[in-house]
Amino acid sequence: MINKVKRDIPDQFLVHDVEVFQGQYYREGYEYRKAAPKVKASIRPQESKVVSDLKEAIIKSELRDGMTVSFHHHFRDGDYIVNMVMDAIHEMGIRDITVCASSLGTAHAPIVRYIEDGTITGISSSGVRGEIGEAISEGKLKNPAYIRCHGGRVRAIETGDIHIDVAFIGAPTSDLYGNARGKGGKSDCGVLSYSMVDAEYADKVVVITDTLVPFPNFPPSIKQVDVDYVVVVPEIGNPRKIANELLRFTTDPRELLIAEYATKALVSTPYFRDGFSFQTGGGGPSLAVTRFLKPYMVEKDIRMGFAIGGITKPMIDLMEEGLIGTIVDAQDFDLTSIASVHNHPRHFEISTSQYANPMNKGAFVNKLDFVILGALEVDTDFNVNVVTGSDGVVRGAPGGHVDTAAGSKCSIIVAPLVRSRIPTIKDSVITVTTPGESVDIVVTEVGVAVNPARTDLLEALKDSGLPLMTIEKLRDEAYQLVGKPEEIQFEDEVVALVEYRDGTLIDVVRKPKKIT
C-alpha cells in the first residue's frame, strides 16, 4: 500500500493493526491502554538484590529462546554491556533473541556473529551503524530490523508494540537494592533517560554496575521498586569513549556559512522571542548555530526558556552565561554536559517518554519552538533521510530527528548541498525517515528553501537577506554541480522497517543489489 510519503509498504507487514504512515498527527487523540509488565512481588524484608554474576541474573530472570532483551546507549562507543550480555546469552545457548536497543554503534560490531548464528534474530534500534548495519543490509538478520526513533521506541514500549522480557541496564552507580543513577562511578554518563522506560515496562530488570554505592543511591534514575537483580562487574564501559571534550568546533567555511544562514533564519521568525525553546543536534553546523545565537540573544535581550535533547558544551556555555532558564536532558555528549547535570540546579534528567513519546499525554517536543537537524538527503517533497547511506546501506540513526521535527514550530535542516560529489538535495530520498510535512526550512551553503506549506515563514524570512530559493532550485544547483545521481538498485527483500514515531510504517529498506 502506498503511504502519504508515496512509499510502497508491502502488505505482508500490514498485519496486527499495523498501518501505513498517514500524516504526522494522524494519531492525535488515539486512545489505547498502556502496556504493563509482569511483576513478582517482594514483600519480605530483604537486604540485597545482588546476584553472583550475569549468568545467575539471566537464569533468575528466566530468559528463554524467543524473548526480547533491552539496552541503552548512554555509554555510546564506550559501551561494554551489550557485548557482555550477548556473550553470556550465547554461551548459555539461548537463541532467537530480539535486541531492543535505544541505539547500536560501532562498539557492538562483535554481535554480528550472533546475528549470523541465530542467537539474535530481531533488532529494534534507532541507530544500526557500521558492521551491524552492513549485516542487516546483507539480509543476515532473520527478521527485518525495526528502525525506531527515540520517541517511537518509547511509544512502542508503552503501547505494548514491543514487550521487553528482560532489561539489562548498565548503570554508573547502583546500591544493592537497585537504585541506579547515570551519575558517579567509573563510567559516568550523566543520565539514564533511555532506560527509565525499560525499567518501568520490562518484566525483569537487571542493573549492571561497576560501582556499588551506599543505600539509598538517590535520587535514582532507575528505582528499586522496578529492579529485580543487581550484578556487579569490573567494568561497564570505557570512560574515555563515553564522553570526551573533543567537540567538533567546525572551521569548515561551508559549514560555518550554513550555520550563519540557519541562525539568521531562526532569528527572523516570530518564535525567536523571550522564553523560546530550542534543540540542536551534535553535528558541526548544528553546534555552530548554538554559538552563533548568542549575540542575537544578547542584542535583543532574549533568553531561552528551555533547551532539550542531547546536550553539548555550547548549550552549557549559554546556560552558564545566564541565557538559558532550564535544560532538560535525555543524553549527554560530553564531560561538560555530564558535569552540568550533576551540579546545575536547573539542568534536569528526563526520560525519553518525557522527551519525545508521541503517544503519551504531551512530551517536551510538543512545546519546542526550534530544532536544528542534519540530514543525509532531502528531497523536493522536503522528506529527509537520516538512515540509509548513498549506497542504500543502513548506517544512520533517526534519534530524536523525527520527534523534534514533528513537535517543533520551526524545524531547520542544515546540510551541505553535496557531499563527496553526491547531491544531498534530490528528487527523492532513498529512505524517508522524517516526512516533508515536519520539515520547515532547509539550509545549505548555496541557498535556503522554506517549505511552501509554511507561508508564514516565507513571509517572515522575505526581508532577512537570506538567499531564499525553492527546494527544486536547490536540487537543480546540486545536480548541476555533480550531476543527477544514479538510482541505487535494490532486491525485493526487505531488511528493515522504518517505523514512524506513531507506529505506522513510513518506509522499508530493501537489500541493495550487489554490484557485479
Pick the binder of a copy of itself from 8, 28, 274, 321 (CB under 8 A).
28
For 365, the grid coordinates are 517536543
Build a one-symbol-per-residue string for 124-163: x at contacts with a copy of itself by CB under 8 A, - elsewhere.
Answer: ----------------------------------------
For 238, the grid coordinates are 570505557
Pick the binder of a copy of itself from 357, 390, 411, 444 (CB under 8 A).
357
> Toward a copy of itself, which CB reaches closer, 108 or 409?
409
Q: Which stretch binds a copy of itself (CB under 8 A): 10-18, 113-121, 221-229, 414-422?
A: 221-229
Build a one-symbol-per-residue string for 163-192: x at contacts with a copy of itself by CB under 8 A, - elsewhere.
Answer: --------------xx--------------
359 binds a copy of itself (CB under 8 A): yes
Q: Which stretch binds a copy of itself (CB under 8 A): 220-228, 281-289, 414-422, 463-471?
A: 220-228
24 binds a copy of itself (CB under 8 A): yes
Build a one-symbol-per-residue string for 310-339: x at contacts with a copy of itself by CB under 8 A, - elsewhere.
Answer: ---------------xx-x-----------
Residues 6 or more apart whose CB falls under 8 angstroms from that of 474 comprise 417, 425, 442, 444, 446, 447, 449
8 Å CB contact between 497 and 145 = yes
> Toward a copy of itself, which CB reaches closer, 348 or 490?
348
Residues 499, 153: Cα–Cα separation, whole Å = 9
The nearest distance, CB 436 to a copy of itself, in angstroms, is 17
Beta sheet of 347-349, edge-to-edge order: 347-349, 324-332, 304-311, 276-280, 370-373, 410-414, 441-443, 448-450
DSSP string, 387-431: SB-TTS-B----TTHHHHHHHSSEEEEE--SEETTEESEESS-SS
Q: Which of 83, 106, 42, 149 is nearest to 504 (CA)?
A: 149
Q: Which of 394, 353, 363 is nearest to 153 (CA)?
A: 353
Residue found under cell 530520498:
429
Residues 48, 65: Cα–Cα separation, whole Å = 28
Build a one-symbol-per-residue string for 380-419: x at contacts with a copy of itself by CB under 8 A, - elsewhere.
Answer: --------------------------xxxx----------
219 binds a copy of itself (CB under 8 A): yes
Residues 352, 198: Cα–Cα separation, whole Å = 10
Pick the binder of a copy of itself from 2, 15, 16, 46 (CB under 8 A).
46
Q: For residue 473, what is the enclosing H or E element?
A: helix 471-482
| Footprint of a copy of itself (CB under 8 A) | 24-25, 27-47, 49, 177-178, 205, 214-216, 218-219, 223-228, 275, 305-306, 325-326, 328, 346, 348, 353-354, 357-364, 366-368, 406-409, 502
